[in-house]
Amino acid sequence: MADKPIRADKATAVAELTESFRNAGATVLTEYRGLTVSQLTQLRRSLGTETTYTIAKNTLAKRAAVDAGISGLDELFTGPTALTFVSGDVVEAAKGLREFAKTNPKLVIKGGVFEGKAISAAEVTKLADLESREVLLAKLAGAMKGNLSKAASLFQAPMAKTARLAAALQDKREKEGAEAA
């Protein structure tokens, strides 16, 4: 009978983790062995409000990943594991983890999940190397504006040529009319 509340707690924990896996745009698995509570608090703060950093038992996290339909993470659930659930900008969260790991080498990025597929630690690092969403959107907008300006010039060119041609013809007729008179 004493086992029942523990199992209910475990089922609740698995359900919460499963929901987090499903709702997150990405999940990064890390090993936090050797980090202090204050360092983990600092990490949580640095990741922002759209990212949660949760320490979970490997067996529960593994079951939640399977329940969420995610495969390929089994080998990552070794040692003390923490899950970083990202609901905001994935690139910013990956950068935050990488920067924290630079100053706190005890934080080890194991790998994760991006768009429902398992990714390696190297792929998480590649995500961190990307520019933020806002920067990429600004570059895209600049490129589109440049292309639209070129298109506008291209569309205006025939009309400008026609206007210059009409003006030249009018000048020619005026000169011919003046010479004839």
Q: Do both 22 and 37 map to the same domain?
A: yes
Q: pLDDT in tens for each of the 181 residues of the chain?
A: 444 445 888 889 899 999 999 989 899 999 999 999 999 999 999 888 889 999 999 999 999 999 998 888 888 998 999 999 998 888 888 888 999 999 999 999 999 999 888 888 888 888 877 766 666 677 677 777 766 666 666 676 677 777 777 777 888 888 877 776 6
**Residues with Cβ within 8 Å of residue 7, at least 6 apart in sequence:** none
List the domain range (segments joined by +) for residue 56: 3-130
Q: Are residues 33 and 113 in the same domain?
A: yes
Is 23 in the same domain as 83?
yes
DSSP for 89-154?
A: -HHHHHHHHHHHHHH-TT-EEEEEEETTEEEEHHHHHHHHHSPPHHHHHHHHHHHHHHHHHHHHHH
pLDDT per position as a tens digit, 7-20: 888 889 899 999 99
| pLDDT at site 146 | 66
Q: What does the pLDDT read at residue 1?
A: 42
124 and 138 housed in the same domain? no
Other CB atoms within 10 A of residue 31 CB: 17
**Per-residue pLDDT, 62:** 92
User: How many folded domains does the chain comprise?
Assistant: 2
- Same domain? For 138 and 97 the reply is no
Residues 149 and 81 in one domain: no
Paired strand residues for 26: 86, 114
Q: Are residues 86 and 175 in the same domain?
A: no
Q: According to the model, what pLDDT value does residue 3 have? A: 44
Residue 86's pLDDT is: 92
Question: Dihedral of the CA atoms 63, 31, 47, 20 (nearest 10)?
Answer: 0
Statement: the pTM of the whole predicted model exceeds 0.75? no
CATH number at residue 116: 3.30.70.1730
Asked whether residue 74 falls in the same domain as residue 152, the answer is no
Q: Same domain, yes or no, for 59 and 80?
A: yes
Give the per-residue pLDDT at 165. 74
